[in-house]
Structure 1
């Protein structure tokens, strides 16, 4: 098998396995046992209606109907160049072949991903960038974290529902009290009106000093003075016994502090406590001028060199993206410095490459390249 095809198949299997966020993290070096498999079908005019005529179980956790439907979409009818890879011919179940029917074969690639949880056999569309079929292996640690997060969300939802229900019950308890307040006020209105009328007549009689009715004024005044404390006491008792409704209090207005001004009345940009002194301003200005001069000198220098690590050239951007994902996985497994700022897919003439760049120091670029090569990555260092 050509190394390019082997690398493309391995990178595609790793990318497929990592699409599940709970799956184990794997590398292309764990993919092996490459080969070919042919699946027999009862042929007809329309490929979508071909029926599988085999009984062998190829993939654990994948039903026969799903496997057959996937093979009809991604299998190839022409015999591929095996490149020395082993070929597995699935036995035809003659009972499934209809009378007078003809068996046809669809070809698929196959590989095995070795994980700590056990091997993962997969089938591949032989075309570059094609689909992968199999059953992923999940990480117990990732599953535990996800379960804990889900339990926390459920608990928070329960607490929120309890708070909402408790607030609703309090509102229902306040509503009858608010409704009874008008009736209590209406009941006390006649007594309050009578006491107010008697007090007003007594006050007018005393203020006018009319001699026409001294006896009536003197008779009305003691009765008003005697009934006023009784009415006031009853009104206070009824107001104290009635439930009080809740009041909505508006939040206090924000305090706006005026901006400080100098001796001439001009506004200052910041409070005086944060202003720099003359010596500090002079030092900051000199440092800024020195930095600008240094930056201009660096821009004028045409001999600056930046380093990058590149993968092998690919004919399509899709293949380079797969190699880039593999490179990112290998970089993520490395600990400590140096680190790669970013990984991008860039054109290289008529081809494409996955590029890890920019690296400013040659020794760091060489050390990172050596670490990636030890992990099976096919990268080379370039400078530009």
Structure 2
């Protein structure tokens, strides 16, 4: 079965999959490749009719009228904003899955808003009055990750001077986001799988099991099935985490959402500082022609820079000037990593990593993507540099 991209379908297209094989594996494979719904042949005609009516009704109710084309009124859903078809499809999926307790994996490029999706699901769920916590699997050293997730008892290891409750216990009754799940140590993944399956954990240094009631959402910026093939993610954990996958569209595929989001970010700045800067209409084509490798996060940063440097109207020429400055800064970074013959490979690597971090504004996920390494590898390198400095 082809994916949506392989089939040439645009983001937001509703895909129904049918199969004569009624197995969890068949349904799982269809959904992972972009199907919104899975049916076993022969499908019940009445169920299909009701489903199509629901989709049509929602499409009509959310379609903007001719008098409501101002992108400043871009749709808001929970903590997310966007009016394109792909985002409205995402809203439908979130609305449905939020009412359940199934494990959800959110897949999307860096800067697309994976944590906002997770938090929105929490706010729409029956757990909304419970805690919401996020744990970045890449940001935590392996030696501390298990303790931070599952807790420890006093005396469990050197420096454990008191009992510590981990994220799972503190998030009990609510939602826990495991961000950058593919960066988690493989041995710790086995312990995580046991907790997910038994709903029980054991603090480090304890022999007593503790029951926890946590809805787990995981997120990653690389295809999780590829991470499984690369040995970065256990296959059994993947299937346990990905009971319902959600895929976030990159900003470059969101059409006029780019201009709408730019207006929204500018409006926030105007309200915060009691100013009245505006975006010109000619900026639309400029924003739409850019690939946005940093996605929404990059767009927000660009609007903030334009706001600081402009006095009244922000137009296409002004945005292009900011882009040229960014390119010049990047060129400066590239000059900064020029090295003389005889420089060690390790020193060249160090200079390149630090220059890339400067370029991304210390966004470590974005820097790791640009360098072609995992976030975990980046953190390990930085730890080494700190220890040898």
TM-score by length of 2: 0.19
**Which structure has the larger Rg over C-alpha atoms?**
1
With a CA cutoff of 8 Å and minimum separation of 6, indicate the structure with the bigger relative contact order: 2
TM-score by length of 1: 0.20
